[in-house]
Structure 1
Amino acid sequence: YGGLARGLHESAKVIEKHAAQLCVLAEDCDQPDYVKLVKALCAEHSVSLLTVPNAKTLGEWAGLCKIDSEGKARKVTGCSCVVVKDFGEEHEAYNVVLQHVKAN
């Protein structure tokens, strides 16, 4: 998870440093100013923006949870914004995300 910035503060810093490759925003964020700021920063710095239905899903994807012995996520913490700084090794999932970003 070293290639991610989670939350508004970390995400804004990464975007402003031109180190962001992708930004993911939760649609259920209940703070309009938060959403407005993230969208404006992404537009200003030409960062691709994806949305996901809810913050719990995004939090799980960002590793903000405990994984039990069966491999299921427990105690998931919601997260409204995640920025990808480094995709890591290139593999099929990376290509799927990249194709989706280019299509939208």
Structure 2
Amino acid sequence: MAEEEVMDEVAAEEPEVEVEEMGVLDALKEVLKKALVHDGLRRGLHEGVKALDRHSAKLCCLAKDCDNPEYNKLVRALCEEGGVNLVMVETGKTLGEWCGLCKIDENGEAVKVVRCSCAVVTEFGEETQALNILLEFLKKQAS
């Protein structure tokens, strides 16, 4: 009987963990990582355009600092044709890091990051809070 009272007191003293609000870019980073794990991420212009052309794409990310304006036109046109949401990322290095095109050193920092101009998600994998945040943001942008 005394043990049950002690268990109740211990359970009541646990502090509530605050769920920090995830930003859209953090959510995008998490969604790209999950898609990579579930083999649903196409990296680079060649693979991305093939996925967009086959209408198997669910989300497309494009780097703002892409060198060739024809790449921008092509990806934007294919996204518009297929009704795929397009998210612009500041730099290709950032997109490359988020897509796993880098090596991770012993401190957990990304080194030798390869630039990526385009990344296309064909399979989200599992449904997460990050995916819900990103989809809500895209719905607000569309309307």
Q: Give every structure 1 segment of 4 or more consecutive aligned residues whose post-TM-superposition deviation is greater than 2 Å.
A: none
SS at match of 2:125: coil
Distance, in Å, in 2 between the alignment partners of 1:103 and 1:27 is 21
Distance, in Å, in 2 between the alignment partners of 1:103 and 1:25 is 19
Q: CA deviation at 1:26?
A: 0.3
Counterpart in the other structure of 1:97? 134
Counterpart in the other structure of 2:76? 39
Amino acid paired to 2:124 = F
Q: CA deviation at 1:22?
A: 0.2
Instruction: Please report the TM-score for the alignment, with normalisation by the length of structure 2.
Output: 0.71
Q: CA deviation at 1:56?
A: 0.3
SS at match of 2:76: helix
- Equivalent in 62, 75, 78 of residue 99 of structure 2: 62
Higher strand proportion, which one?
1
Distance, in Å, in 1 between the alignment partners of 2:67 and 2:137 is 26
Identity, % of aligned positions: 56
SS at match of 2:66: coil
Larger radius of gyration: 2
Q: CA deviation at 1:97?
A: 1.3
Amino acid paired to 1:67 = I
Higher helix proportion, which one?
2
Q: CA deviation at 1:94?
A: 0.8
Q: How many residues align?
A: 104
1:1-104 paired onto structure 2 within 5 Å: 1=36, 2-104=39-141
- 1:14-42 deviation line (CA, Å, top 9, x unaligned): 11111100000000012100000000000
- 1:49-90 deviation line (CA, Å, top 9, x unaligned): 000110000000100001111111111001010000111111
Long gaps (5+) in structure 1: none
Q: CA deviation at 1:48?
A: 0.5
Amino acid paired to 2:66 = C
